[in-house]
């Protein structure tokens, strides 16, 4: 089995990482003080007690609350730099990073200010850590569909500064088909397309993401395994599946990491890869997710396959892709 050092040395891309999910509790408290935001936690110790999640929603409640401490362009830049430094230490060569601008705009922030802060951090990461990165604008599926259209209105003038569109937040009751027009618009803007599906929702949501939203990758996709046709389609069309083991365990998607269908997906030929989701909330960054799989018996060859899949299913251009392998 692979050592920690060997895990970090595998060339890999981070394809499933919410930048707001890298907000560590200490930083959230510091930002709350600096930005004069009241949080109902008197101490770090008290805040830490809020991380015992029982499902996706119980996590999202804290995640959205702490997101309210982010106010300035520098906050977003600092958050991005701290993340990219960590990713670099874990051997990430390239990162495609989710952000949730609907929530920031809802909190009264300016879309362009948020984007400028994130892009400034990404430039710092490129210059100082040699790590390339791009942004995927995530649509918050439990906000109204009109709200998704409004964020695309704001994003459209600078669509060339984004890599893709994604779909996240509370899944059950918010099927991908609700967003067919939103995603058609994003595709017409030249954006790559991904969606969270089959995390808490059923395999039919994965099927809708593939055939109605025309996604190029599925985020999580745990429940895809319930539909052999969906699995076959992902294998045939080389649809990446971005698994986040520590997230799935902490949100009780599975009660044990060994119950994730990772081997079955590999054997079916699906280009599944391993990622960190919201590392500040789930107890580990990308190398920790690889480590968790190594600890339950995934072989060096299997872990190397996950890393190779992450590069294969990334949206870097062909020329750059060759230089990463």
Contacts with Zn ion, residue ranges (CB under 5 A):
277
Q: Indicate which single residue of 19, 21, 192, 274 sits in contact with ligand ES4 (rule: CB under 6 A).
A: 21
Q: Indicate which single residue of 2, 56, 194, 209 sits in contact with ligand ES4 (rule: CB under 6 A).
A: 56
Report the residue closest to ligand ES4, judged by CB.
168
Q: Which is nearer to Zn ion, 84 or 246 (CB)?
A: 246
Q: In what order do the strands lie in the sheet with 217-220?
A: 12-14, 92-99, 132-140, 164-168, 192-197, 217-220, 240-243, 272-274
Write the burial class of residue 188 (CB in 10 Å: 0-12 exposed, 13-18 middle, 19+ buried): exposed
Q: Which is nearer to ligand ES4, 144 or 190 (CB)?
A: 144
Establish whether 277 is an annotated binding residue.
yes
CB of 34 to Zn ion, least distance (A): 27
**How is residue 104 written in tokens?**
């920031």
Q: Indicate which single residue of 14, 75, 96, 278 sits in contact with ligand ES4 (rule: CB under 6 A).
A: 278
Tell whether residue 16 is a contact of ligand ES4 (CB under 6 A): no
From the list Zn ion, ligand ES4, none, partner contacted by residue 115 (C-beta under 5 to 8 A by kind)? none
Do residues 44 and 159 touch, judged by C-beta distance below 8 A? no
Question: How many Å apart are CA 171 and CA 194, to the nearest integer?
Answer: 14
Catalytic residue IDs: 199
The 199-238 site mask, x for binding ligand ES4 (CB under 6 A), equals x---------------------------------------
Q: Is 167 left (phi over 0), alpha (psi -120 to 50) or beta?
A: beta
Question: How many Å apart are CA 197 and CA 224, to the nearest integer?
Answer: 8
From the list ligand ES4, Zn ion, none, partner contacted by residue 199 (C-beta under 5 to 8 A by kind)? ligand ES4
The per-residue b/e assignment along 80-116, b for 16 or more CB within 10 angstroms, e otherwise, is bbbbbebbbebbbbbbbbbbbbbbbbbeebebeebbb
**How is residue 152 written in tokens?**
């695309």
Cα–Cα nearest to 239, from 262, 263, 265: 265
Establish whether 16 is an annotated binding residue.
yes
Question: How many Å apart are CA 238 and CA 233, to the nearest integer?
Answer: 8
CB of 114 to Zn ion, least distance (A): 18
Tell whether residue 277 is a contact of ligand ES4 (CB under 6 A): yes
From the list Zn ion, ligand ES4, none, partner contacted by residue 14 (C-beta under 5 to 8 A by kind)? none
Establish whether 18 is an annotated binding residue.
yes
**At a CB cut-off of 8 Å and minimum separation 6, what does 93 contact?**
11, 12, 13, 131, 132, 311, 324
Q: Indicate which single residue of 77, 196, 217, 275 sits in contact with ligand ES4 (rule: CB under 6 A).
A: 196
Q: How many residues bind ligand ES4 (CB under 6 A)?
A: 11
Cα–Cα nearest to 315, from 166, 99, 133, 130: 133
Tell whether residue 75 is a contact of ligand ES4 (CB under 6 A): no
Q: Which is nearer to Zn ion, 27 or 244 (CB)?
A: 244
Q: How many other C-beta atoms lie within 10 A of the C-beta of residue 169?
A: 20
Tell whether residue 289 is a contact of ligand ES4 (CB under 6 A): no
Establish whether 86 is an annotated binding residue.
no
- Give the annotated binding-site residues: 16, 18, 196, 277-278
**Residues in contact with ligand ES4 by the rule CB under 6 A:** 18, 21, 56, 63, 168-169, 196, 199, 247, 277-278
- Give the annotated binding-site residues for substrate: 278
């Amino acid at each position: 089995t692979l050592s920690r050092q060997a895990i970090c040395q595998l060339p890999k891309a981070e394809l499933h990482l919410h930048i707001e999910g890298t907000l560590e509790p200490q930083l959230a408290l510091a930002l709350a003080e600096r930005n004069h935001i009241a949080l109902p936690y008197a101490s770090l110790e008290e805040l830490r007690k809020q991380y015992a999640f029982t499902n996706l929603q119980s996590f999202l409640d804290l995640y959205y609350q702490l997101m309210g401490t982010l106010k300035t362009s520098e906050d977003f830049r600092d958050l991005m730099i701290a993340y990219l430094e960590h990713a670099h230490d874990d051997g990430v060569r390239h990162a495609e990073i989710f952000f949730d601008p609907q929530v920031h705009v809802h909190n009264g922030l300016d879309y362009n200010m948020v984007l400028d802060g994130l892009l400034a951090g990404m430039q710092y990461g490129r210059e100082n850590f040699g790590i390339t990165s791009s942004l995927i604008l995530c649509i918050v599926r439990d906000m109204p569909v009109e709200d998704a259209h409004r964020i695309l209105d704001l994003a459209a003038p600078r669509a060339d500064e984004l890599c893709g569109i994604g779909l996240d937040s509370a899944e059950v009751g918010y099927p991908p088909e609700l967003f067919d027009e939103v995603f058609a618009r994003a595709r017409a803007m030249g954006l790559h397309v991904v969606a969270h599906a089959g995390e808490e929702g059923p395999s039919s949501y994965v099927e809708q993401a593939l055939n109605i939203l025309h996604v190029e990758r599925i985020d999580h996709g745990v429940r895809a395994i319930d539909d052999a046709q969906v699995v076959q389609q992902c294998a045939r069309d080389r649809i990446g599946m971005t698994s986040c083991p520590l997230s799935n365990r902490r949100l009780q998607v599975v009660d044990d990491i060994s119950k994730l269908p990772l081997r079955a997906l590999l054997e079916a030929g699906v280009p599944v890869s391993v990622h960190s989701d919201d590392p500040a909330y789930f107890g580990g960054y990308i190398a920790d997710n690889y480590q968790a799989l190594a600890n339950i018996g995934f072989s060096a060859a299997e872990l190397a396959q996950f890393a190779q899949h992450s590069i294969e299913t990334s949206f870097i251009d062909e020329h750059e892709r060759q230089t990463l392998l």
